[in-house]
Structure 1
Amino acid sequence: MKTYGLIGHRLGYSFSKGFFTEKFEKEGLKEHEYVNFELDSIDEFPEIFEKNDHIAGLNCTIPYKQQIMPFLDEIDDEAAKVGAINTIKIIRQADGKLKLKGFNTDIYGFENSLKPMLGDKQKKALILGTGGASKAIKYILEKLGIAYVSASIEAELFDNEIRYEQIDSELLKDHLVIINATPLGTFPKVDTCANIPYEHLTADHVLFDLVYNPEETLFMKKGKEQGAAVKNGLEMLHLQALKAWEIWNS
């Protein structure tokens, strides 16, 4: 038996569990399973290996993407730059000990989902939200040479951060890529979206929503009404999951 799994706090519905369970069934991998490991504290992480001696690979989600790092033996260079882990490779050494290496496949998923939407005009981006989800986004935008600002609701502003009230027609004229890195619009609260002046969007704008349930969020609908290109986060999730599978089995 090979056990893969997701570590998180209160997981509820898990995209990863559904994705990999379906993958195992389709490919006839009967000795494979995918399990949700709900941890009340990251300090419970080592217990996973004490109770399961056939762990083959793990995903990691909020709130532990950063808290997991001290438990790892090695961290991939890109993941270290981003400062967040969502994939753990389990390396069984000759002496029987386990070596844990952390990766961030959100980087791969986001880059390869966003790039096909970009043209010569899209040189600046507006990120809605400053939480953990924005870390991989910022890394990829820098890699692609796209300048960005982030809209924040936090009391303190840091570099390249602005208030939502500062988002006006002039800012949107320059920032043609808009990325929703907040949970706004997620089912069941489908009637919510970030408070920005959507009426100033154009056909040159690209709206990328990390939310994937519902398939078309209110954020995306408002963009489409102005002629903007839109995409949700489902393809990104598929790509990051496939990359995790590749890492586990390389």
Structure 2
Amino acid sequence: MRRFGLIGYPLGHSFSGKYFTAKFLCEGITDAGYELFELPDIADFPAFLRQNPGLKGLNVTIPHKQTILPFLNEIDPVAAKIGAINTVKITNGKCTGFNTDYIGFRDSLQNFLQELTAVKALILGTGGASKAVQAALQELHIPFKIVSRNPENGQLSYAELGPEIMETHQLIINTTPLGTFPNTETCPEIPYQNLTAKHYLYDLVYNPEETLFMKNAMEKGAKTKNGYEMLVLQAEAAWQIWNS
């Protein structure tokens, strides 16, 4: 049995286990299994690997997408440039890090925007998921500004999101965990009153299906999308890496 799994903390919100279990059943894959491994401290990663010698691959989620880097034997050049890892391939005890988040987000965003061109984006958050989103937007030639609670190096604070910035940035992407189950009553503090039907709001959160971030946007006529399609696309890209 080939073993795969997800590391992060906490994992109660994750759909990855259900997704891969359903995939294996649907596609008749009988020699593989997928497990969730809650790992509060990334310093325990080497011990975790010793305790699970049969692992062939891992997905990595909050809060370890950046802190896992020093524990890897090799890093894919694209992932190294992004500075965040969400997929690990394990071969003969050696771990190689990849980033499929940017692939999943890039392809999902293109489906969302369709014919929309000349758009500018605001990226809410600065963590590992934000770095993947930045890489995807750069590849798609979409200019963006990063919004942070503690802005630095040209980033914007949430207090700076006035009417002019909101009007000129039609695409707003939430890369923070705000609104994730079970804390569904939270959302990024942007001026929702300045949203219009011309805005596109993408929430990387997929549980719940409709976040407060999305609900606030829909009340103003904005178009919204959650992160489930991104989850599927990044998972399929990870599966290809594990089996290549």
Q: What displacement does 1:246 show?
A: 0.7
Q: Look up the SS of the partner of 1:14 in the other structure.
A: coil
Deviations 1:110-163 (A, max 9, x none): 101111223444421111222332111111112221221122212xx2123112
Q: Residue in 2 aligned with 1:205?
A: 199
Q: What displacement does 1:40 show?
A: 4.2
Identify which of 81, 102, 117 aligns with 2:112: 117
CA gap of 1:83–1:227, structure 2 versus 1, over 3 A, is same
Q: Residue in 2 aligned with 1:220?
A: 214
Give aligned-pair identity as a percent.
54
Distance in 2 separating the partners of 1:106 and 1:247: 13
Q: What displacement does 1:101 show?
A: 1.3
Distance in 2 separating the partners of 1:14 and 1:178: 23
CA gap of 1:30–1:13, structure 2 versus 1, over 3 A, is farther
Identify which range, 208-217 or 54-63, moves more after superposition: 54-63
TM-score (norm 2): 0.91
Gaps of 5+ in 2: none
Q: Residue in 2 aligned with 1:129?
A: 125
Amino acid at match of 2:163: S
Identify which of 105, 108, 116 aligns with 2:103: 108
Distance in 2 separating the partners of 1:196 and 1:51: 44
Q: Residue in 1 aligned with 2:235?
A: 241
Q: Are 2:172 and 2:200, in contact at CA under 8 Å, matched by a contact in 1?
A: yes
TM-score (norm 1): 0.89
Q: Are 1:8 and 1:39, in contact at CA under 8 Å, matched by a contact in 2?
A: yes
- Please list every run of at least 4 consecutive aligned residues from structure 1 whose deviation after the TM superposition is greater than 4 angstroms: none
CA gap of 1:129–1:33, structure 2 versus 1, over 3 A, is same
* Aligned-CA RMSD value: 1.9
Identify which range, 59-68 or 171-180, moves more after superposition: 59-68
Q: What displacement does 1:248 show?
A: 0.4
Q: Look up the SS of the partner of 2:156 in the other structure.
A: strand
Distance in 2 separating the partners of 1:27 and 1:109: 21
Distance in 1 separating the partners of 2:184 and 2:118: 28
Identify which range, 194-203 or 144-153, moves more after superposition: 194-203
Q: What displacement does 1:52 show?
A: 3.2
